[in-house]
Structure 1
């Protein structure tokens, strides 16, 4: 394929990808079936009695009861909730997803709980291992492949081949 055609096709695909990202970002909150932090902060009582999925940071732990903060888009606390029935271990500073019925007294009994980060250090660990993985993948790619800037193509690197030398037949 000619260089001009590759550049045009790549530009069109990147423009389409950008457009899809913008559309997804604009329509995400409207299509999400559960209240966001902004909606919960503005009209908490409208969601009381409904089954919702909330994501929040753990403030305190007392047995199977935790207190979480659900934040809004400005990263301010929209609601502080007491969650009962959490059976997975989590420490303050961790992040949880809780699914259950939201009560009007700012409590919730968890039907399902998923611990995203067990404590405040889990995010740094995930980020560090991801960076190491990306560096290893780039190194592996660079060892076996090369980019030809003239043709904008990825080509396998030339490798040295060793010939097997057959020994004398002793038999």
Structure 2
């Protein structure tokens, strides 16, 4: 019973830390938020920024992204590599006329998210299956014991 109590306290503590981090962390605080950039865009020209955006279309051969009302035309990724609705992380420099010179980017498509979750579920199932091939739950003492051993 002591082990179960300790495990319970540790799991609750881990959950509390995860929830606390999620509540406190709302993106990066290094750069102004998109609404502040949009309100006075000219003051931010030449600054570097890291933004989480969503692809909304193309204009003049450039991808147009949006985050919290801030629309930008980015130099990378190319419009052919992104579909409308994909999430795009961009890092680079603000240019005039709402141009964003991208130094690094990462595209996360909806299909990629489902693939990530699918692979995770398969991995969990395989790990649990392999574990339970050698171990079984002893319901009397609330513990795992080797299969075949008493």
Query: Does TM-score exceed 0.5, indicating one fold?
Result: yes
Hey, what does 1:167 align to over in structure 2?
none
Q: Which has the larger radius of gyration?
A: 1
Compute the RMSD of aligned alpha carbons. 3.0
* 3-state DSSP of counterpart to 1:151: coil
| Residue of structure 1 in register with 2:73 after alignment | 82
Q: In the superposition, relative to structure 1, how do residues 102 and 150 fare at CA in structure 2: closer, same or farther (>3 Å)? A: farther
| Larger fraction in helix | 2
Report Cα offsets for 1:59-82 as digits up to 9, x if no partner: 235797211122xxxxxx432221
Q: Secondary structure at the match of 2:88?
A: strand
**Distance change in 2, residues 1:104/1:151 (3 Å):** farther
Q: Is the 8 A contact 1:97 1:114 kept in 2?
A: yes
- C-alpha separation in 2, matches of 1:149 and 1:63: 67
Gaps of 5+ in 2: none
| TM-score w.r.t. length of structure 2 | 0.74
- Aligned partners of 1:43, 1:83: CA distance in 2, in Å? 15
Counterparts of 1:138-149 in structure 2 under 5 Å? 138-149=128-139
Structure 1 segments, 4+ long, off by >3 Å, are 61-64
Aligned residue-pair number: 145
Contact 1:68 1:80 in 2 (8 A): yes
Q: Where do residues 102-121 of structure 1 align in structure 2 (5 Å cutoff)?
A: 102-103=94-95, 105-117=97-109, 120-121=110-111
2:35 to 20, 37, 41: 41
Match of residue 97 from structure 1: 89
- Which string of whole-angstrom CA distances, capped at 9 and with x for unpartnered residues, describes residues 121-152 of structure 1? 32222222222222222222222221223322
